[in-house]
């Protein structure tokens, strides 16, 4: 092969490489002008557009805040409703004042609340004489002052009628014999003395009393 021929071939190959490079450069220029992103070295393909997520995150956060706010408001109203229905207002009527003075009442209903705080008015036993022909009668036991964790136990003729229980404004209803001894034993003092009230069906009377812890009040029921 002549030296002249080899020189022409090499020059032709150089020109081909330069033309290929020029075509690549022209193509890159065209993509840049059209807004197409050029791939970086090592990219496996054209770059994919990225969808902004900031707005979606804000929407999610806003929805979470709204749900939390709605839940908080609902919880507040539920607590208020429960409080209103569970809270018993203090009766300050003339009948209530008289009941505190006399320690008995036939005009007040079971569950009447006469004091905001416990007040030791002293213990007292009673004899209840009635004309009922029934063998049994109902009694209602409740806390007529503060619901502070006082516990009492009911006994009939010395035998417990169930376990000790915490007295509340809502009366506990029990059935006892219409003749015999009913005792209220003070079991636990929540503070300020164990103040309780008891109503007997046989005579429709409420008795407001204090049962010292570990001691009894005795109600003797007898027929006329």
Class of domain 94-223: mainly beta
**Straight-line distance from the first to the last Cα atom of the chain, in angstroms, rounded to the nearest whole number:** 151
Rounded Cα gap, residues 211 and 204, in angstroms: 21
DSSP letter at 43 equals -
- Beta-ladder partners of 88: none
Contact 129, 219 (CB under 8 A): no
- Mean pLDDT across the stretch 80-85? 44
Give the CA distances from residue 205 to residues 44, 115, 198, 212, in Å, rounded to whole numbers and listed in that order: 94, 19, 8, 22
pLDDT value of position 40: 43
pLDDT in tens, 86-114: 446 999 999 999 999 999 999 999 999 99
Give me the pLDDT at residue 61, please: 62
Task: Select the more confidently predicted residue: 9 or 46.
Answer: 9
Tell me if 174 sits within 8 A of 183, measured CB to CB.
no
Q: Quick check: 126 pLDDT over 90?
A: yes
Q: What is the pLDDT of residues 152-175, one digit of tens each?
A: 999 999 999 999 999 999 999 999
Query: Higher confidence at residue 121 or residue 113?
Result: 113
Sheet harboring 172-177: ordered strands across? 104-105, 205-210, 195-200, 136-142, 172-177
Q: In the predicted model, what is the mean pLDDT of residues 6-10?
A: 60
Instruction: Point out which residues pair with 175 in neighbouring strands.
Output: 138
How far apart CA 26 and CA 22 sit, in angstroms, is: 6
| Three-state secondary structure call for residue 67 | helix
* Mean pLDDT of all residues belonging to the chain: 82
- pLDDT at 142 > cutoff 60: yes
pLDDT at res. 52? 54
In the chain, domain spans: 3-49, 94-223
Q: Is the pLDDT of residue 47 over 70?
A: no
User: What is the per-residue pLDDT for 32?
Assistant: 62
Residues facing 129 on adjacent strands: 222
pLDDT at 38: 45
> For residues 28 and 38, is the Cβ–Cβ distance under 8 A?
yes
Partners of 128 in the β-ladder = 221
């Amino acid at each position: 092969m002549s030296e002249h021929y080899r020189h022409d071939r090499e020059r032709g190959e150089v020109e081909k490489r330069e033309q290929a490079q020029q075509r690549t450069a022209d193509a890159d220029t065209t993509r840049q002008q059209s807004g197409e992103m050029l791939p970086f070295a090592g990219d496996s393909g054209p770059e994919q557009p990225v969808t902004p997520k900031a707005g979606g995150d804000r929407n999610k956060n806003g929805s979470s805040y709204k749900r939390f706010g709605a839940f908080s408001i609902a919880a507040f109203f539920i607590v208020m409703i429960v409080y209103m229905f569970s809270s018993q207002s203090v009766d300050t009527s003339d009948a209530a004042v008289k009941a505190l003075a006399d320690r008995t009442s036939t005009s007040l209903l079971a569950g009447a609340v006469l004091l905001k705080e416990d007040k030791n008015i002293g213990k007292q036993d009673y004899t209840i004489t009635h004309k009922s022909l029934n063998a049994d009668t109902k009694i209602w036991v409740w806390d007529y002052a503060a619901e502070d964790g006082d516990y009492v136990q009911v006994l009939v003729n010395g035998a417990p009628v169930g376990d000790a229980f915490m007295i509340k404004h809502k009366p506990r209803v029990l059935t006892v014999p219409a003749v015999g001894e009913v005792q209220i034993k003070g079991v636990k003092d929540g503070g300020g003395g164990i103040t309780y009230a008891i109503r007997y069906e046989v005579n429709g009377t409420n008795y407001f009393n204090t049962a010292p812890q570990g001691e009894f009040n005795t109600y003797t029921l007898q027929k006329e």
